[in-house]
Every structure is written in structure tokens, then in C-alpha cells.
Amino acid sequence: MRATRPRVTAGIGSPSRLVVLGFGGAVLLGTLLLALPVATENGTSAGVVTALFTATSAVCVTGLVVVDTATHWSTFGEIVVLTLIQAGGLGIMTLASLLGLLVARRLGLRLQLTTQTETKSLGLGEVRGVVLRVIAVSLAVEAVIAVVLTARFAARYDMPWGRAVYEGVFHGVSAFNNAGFALYADSMIRYATDPWITVPMMVAITVGGLGFPVLFEIGRRLRGRLGRWTLHARITLFTYAALTAFGVVAITAIEWANPATLGPLGVPGKLLVGAFHGVNPRTAGFNSLDVAQMSPASLLVTDFLMFIGGGSAGTAGGIKVTTFALLAFVIAAEIRGEPSVHVLGRRLSADIQRQALTVALLGVGAVAASTFVLLLITGFPLDAVLFEAISAFGTVGLSTGITASIPAGGQLLLVVLMFLGRLGPITLAAALALRERARRYELPEERPIVG
């Protein structure tokens, strides 16, 4: 007898609602702490909008700011921001992994996070295992990056060891969580040609952006436990690498002779800065050149990369590389006239295709609507406003420098967009999968004209 897929009850949506409520509570707490006078350098309250914007940007690991982090916030305020970044990054990786695990259980699929055997329930032990693994991986990577940055700050830039440790930890945590917060007004421009600063940060950004399921599979192979790569891991690694290479080559080539960006640098410096700016649109948000001086073509390439983002169940945002890749496979199959979509020896179910299309189109709609509103309430050109909207939705943090000049209403819109972009693709994909149910009947088929 063929097993039927279990019907999902109305209460299944609650995990996604709990994720939204949890992150909403973290944003509220962060807002209250950052609104305290002790959180600012001058001892006066930052104001509700500034505190809310900064707290949302930190929890959603975005990096957009309306005030300079280093000069506006006190040490207490910076530690609050750092704590929110850490909590947001760990929360995203843990909750997205658990939601993926829950979806796999509900749909009767093979578990792809902790084992290759089929199971029937999501037990407390598995939840604990996922949480502990996420924390261990995150802290380990952050610690390694922080040690390298600390040593460089102290040895090369003569920072006192206490300050070097503080800046090393801050930027290590910010990089791994793809947050983009820096303790300098010019982000990482002062270290643009220093590979001992920028390369470790690129490594942290990439590791954090791949997603925990992929990191677990890589770790398993490094421990000698070989086996078949999951389809998710293969798609993520290939697409992530391809898009990163595209970003590095495109931005480096376009900006090579730009006198306001890469032009004055030597060849090694151009290659290093170009690589840094090819990696960061994966939603990290650091910059080692003036983004406002980049050519429109480079901004458009960056828009494209920011919207796609990084891997699922990682610290990167966007619609995710798997969503982009699945849509590309669907298009390729349709062009070839194939009745079903086959990817690397596996067939994609119709519901997965619909979910990818829904996530992508809703993302396009959110960016388009926000861009339209921002154009109405600001006097900035389309390319700058579109860049800002995609950066917020993709939780990237890159900006052409207009964030602080946007009216309060526009900043609140960016708050909503950051929150939606951080949690929307995750919770929407999980909710769509968990709400799936069998239809008792089908209506007569009819084909409208397409194109």
C-alpha cells in the first residue's frame, strides 16, 4: 500500500509565528536598551527611531546605520549592538535549521541536518543537538577570526592589546554573522589593501553565509565520514561559488579604471578590494571603497547579488541561492520542453517549484513597493533608492550614503523591510511547506495565452 502524505493541521503555522515573535521581542529589548542615555557617547537618549533602526539592523544582522557606530554609541551601546548581532545570527541559524528539520519531518523526507536515516519525530535530543552544533561552530569560527584580527591590529597598527581584542572580537562576530557593523566611520576603507584584515573577514563572511546544513556536511567529510552529498549542499556550494566568482570578476573589471574607486590602487590592491566587494554583497555589508563612487553598472551587479543573498539556515539574507538556483533549473527544463525538472539525479517536486517562485516574487514585490514609496518621500535618484531597498531587504547593509538622510517615515519603512527580509523568506518557505494539503478534486484544465 502506498503511504499517503499526512495532512497538516491549522496549528502548524505556529513555529513560524514563534520565530517572528522571538525576533520581534529581541528588537524591542534592543530598542529599549539603545534608547537609554547610557548607550550614547553624549549621555542623551538616541531617540526611538534611531534606537529602533539600529536594534533592528543588529538583530536582523543587516548593518545599515543612521548614526556612526563608533562615535554615537558608548561602549555600553556598542556591546548592546554586538550582543544583538550575536543573538540574531545564532537565532537565525538555529531557528532556520530547526524549521527545516521540522519541515522534513512533516513531509516525511530524509533528515539532512544530522543523519541520513529516515525518522518519524523531532525529538528533544535532536533540537538540543542542532542548537549545540550551531553555537559551537559559530563561536569557533568567530574565535579564530577574532584572534587573527586582534594580532594584526596590535602588531601592525600599534593598538593597545585591550583595544585590539575588543575590535578583533567585534569585527569577527560582525563578519561571521554577515552583519556589516564596523567601528569606523569609513567601514573597512582604511584597511582596504591589508590582506590580514580583509581576507579573514571574507572567510568569515563566506562560512557564515553558507548555512549550517552545508557546514555540517563539510565538517562531516573533514572528519572522514564520507557519503553522498545532499542535493541542498551541492546546489548551495556550486551556486554560491559561481555567484561569488561572478561578483568578484564583474566588480573588479568595471571599477578597474575608476579614479574614485580602484583606479589609484596597484594591481594587488585592485584584486584584493575587488574580491572584498565581490564577497560582501552575499549580505555582509562591509565596504573597503566608497560605494557612492561606484559606477551604475557595479551598483546593478551588487543589487543582483544582494537580492539573491547566501545559503539557507545561515547568517546571510536575500531570497537564498537555492531559491535562485531552483528557479534557474525550472526555466531550463521549460526551455527544453521537459515535463518535469531534474537536478543532479533528483526530480524536483511541483510544490518546491511553487515555493521558490512564491518567495522570489514576493521579494521582488516588497523591494519594488518600498522603492516606489522611498522615491515619493525622498529626492534621491532611483539607483540609490533601489540600492538602499535591496540592501535592507537582503539584510546586507551596504549603502550609497543616503540612509541617515532619509526621513523618519522612510527609515521606519526600512525597518519593516529589514525585518521582513530577515524572517520573511525563512518563515514563508516553512509555512508554505507545512501548510501543504491534498486537494479533494481538480477543476477542468484550461490554458491561457502566455507571452
- Rounded CA-CA distance 185/203 in Å is 23
Looking at residue 115, its pLDDT comes to 33
Looking at residue 239, its pLDDT comes to 95
Stretch 182-207: mean pLDDT, rounded? 95
277-319: pLDDT as tens digits: 999 998 898 999 999 999 999 999 999 999 999 888 777 888 9
Stretch 216-228: mean pLDDT, rounded? 79
- 3-state helix vs strand vs coil in the chain, percent to 5: 65, 0, 30
Do 212 and 314 form a contact (C-beta atoms < 8 A)? Answer: yes
Looking at residue 13, its pLDDT comes to 45
Picking from 223-232, 310-319, 346-355, which range would have the lowest pLDDT averaged per residue? 223-232
109-159: pLDDT as tens digits: 433 433 333 233 344 456 677 778 888 888 999 999 999 999 999 999 999
Between 1 and 450, whose confidence is greater?
A: 450
Read off the pTM.
Answer: 0.87
Looking at residue 281, its pLDDT comes to 93
Sign of dihedral through CA atoms 247, 252, 258, 263? positive
What letter would DSSP give residue 158? Answer: -
45-60: pLDDT as tens digits: 999 999 999 999 999 9
- Rounded CA-CA distance 36/320 in Å is 36
C-alpha cell at 275: 574580491
Do 143 and 127 form a contact (C-beta atoms < 8 A)? Answer: no
Q: Read out DSSP for 308-375? A: H-S-TTSS--SS-HHHHHHHHHHHHHHHHT-SSEEETTEEEPHHHHHHHHHHHHHHHHHHHHHHHHHH
Region for 63 from its dihedrals, namely left if φ exceeds 0, alpha if ψ lies in -120 to 50, beta otherwise = left
Residue 220 has pLDDT above 90, yes or no: no
Q: How far apart are the first and last CA of the chain?
A: 43
Q: How confident is the model at residue 348 (pLDDT cuts 50, 70, 90)?
A: confident
Looking at residue 15, its pLDDT comes to 58
64-107: pLDDT as tens digits: 999 999 999 999 999 999 999 998 888 776 766 666 555 555 44
- Rounded CA-CA distance 433/270 in Å is 45
Residue 228 has pLDDT above 90, yes or no: no
409-438: pLDDT as tens digits: 999 999 999 998 887 666 655 555 555 555
